[in-house]
Amino acid sequence: MAESLIDIVMISKFNRRNGNISGGKTKAFLVDITNHLNVLNTRLQGKNQLISQLYAHVSSFQCNLTLFRSQFNSENYNHFPNYKKMAEKFNKTAINVSYVEKLDILIQSFQDRFSEFKKVKPLLDILSNPFTISVENAPESMQLEIIDIQTTKIYATNSTKETR
């Protein structure tokens, strides 16, 4: 992840020294992707969060990255406002493949870094909302407890109050 951002910074410095317009687009891209990373960082630092909530934040960001990549390929820069300004200012139709490649690297980095969580996702789902879990698909050691939770009126009532 850091390598791809470092590469972009180095390219930006080279382009600025050589008077290349794409240096401004690189800087704009960096600012925008850093803003998105900062939003994730802030969400992960929130207090009183369960591991399932933290995983949800990371999963959401991974979906965002995939969306960003797809939209970048379609010349839709709405989630990259600084880059969009630069693209409109200098060349409306230019898709810079290197930015898509950097997004690919970032996507892969997140997938690699958080691959272990996919193995425990069913348990995280139970923690996040035991009322929606299929008892048959739950680990056998937890099935009876999940049934108790799902059928106890007090828990079900509190759950519906919290979702309102």
Neighbours of 47 (CB within 10 A): 4
CB 125 within 8 A of CB 97: no
Of residues 123, 93, 25, the one with CA closest to residue 8: 25
Is the separation of the CB atoms in 79 and 36 below 8 Å? yes
Splitting the chain (164 residues) into consecutive groups of 10 residues, what average pLDDT does each group show? Answer: 52 47 77 96 92 92 97 91 86 70 94 88 82 85 88 65 54
Domain spans in the chain, listed from the N-terminal domain onward: 2-122, 129-163
pLDDT tens digits, one per residue of 9-54:
544 454 444 444 456 788 899 999 999 999 999 999 989 998 889 9
- To which residue do tokens 């059928």 refer? 151
pTM given for the model: 0.70
pLDDT of residue 19: 43
